[in-house]
Amino acid sequence: MKYVLFLLLCLPTLLPAQTAQSAKKYEATWEQTRYWDQINNADGRFQLLSPQEFEHQVDSLETELGQQAFHTYFFKTPDPRKAENVIYVLSYVDYPAGSLHHDSTELVQEFLTTTEEEAIRSVGGTLVYASEKTISNYPGRQWRIDYNNDGATARTLAVVAGNRYYELKVFSLKSSGPNKAANKFFDSFRLFDPPE
């Protein structure tokens, strides 16, 4: 009984110390401190949430299908140690009519799987997971690759809408593990009607 009384008397003094220590351990990530703006891009025909404004770059790529304009929207977080993800990217490219279309189910699946395999080879990484995903009724695929001796992670969401290929990526330090910011970025992605 004395022991219980002692605990009841001491408990209020122990709780504030415990709470203060717990509060010190939790530090909000960069993404958690930011207001996520909704971006509506009419030219790119997409909508998503982002914790920072994107830079936009257009590169001309010579491919087997001819010259193509590759649009890239990206930003790098200011302090990788405080962020869940280091780099956020959205890119898209329009393929010539008849070469790729979301209605060509087998062709799209093969294209997305080949893209995933090429991504693994390009970073010398290991595939952690991959699965099919539908975005705004268009076929897609998502995957995660660990690379750099398991010191970094690349998460990708790839979608084909009309003859346009979209790719969202986040790059993070492995120590961040699964993160809510990547999920929020990917889950917010919506497409307008594809270009004809």
Q: Read off the pLDDT of residues 37-55 as tens digits, 9 standing for 90 and up.
A: 999 999 999 999 999 999 9
Q: Which position has the higher pLDDT, 20 or 74?
A: 74
Mean pLDDT, the chain, whole residue set: 84
The full DSSP string for 95-109 is PPTTT--TT-HHHHH
What predicted TM-score, i.e. pTM, was given to this entire model?
A: 0.82
**CA proximity to 75, closest of 48, 95, 93:** 48
CATH topology of domain 2-191: Protein Transport Mog1p; Chain A (3.40.1000)
Measure the CA–CA gap between 43 and 6, rounded to whole angstroms: 69
Task: Give pLDDT, residue 58.
Answer: 96
- Per-residue pLDDT tens for 77-111? 999 889 999 999 999 999 888 777 666 778 888 98
Q: Is 143 helix (H, G, I), strand (E, B) or coil?
A: strand
What does the pLDDT look like over 15-26, one tens digit per residue? Answer: 444 444 444 466
| Rounded percentage of the chain residues whose pLDDT exceeds 90 | 61
Domain boundaries, the chain: 2-191
Q: What is the pLDDT of residue 48?
A: 96
Which region among 12-16, 98-102, 113-117, 148-152 has the lowest average model confidence (pLDDT)? 12-16
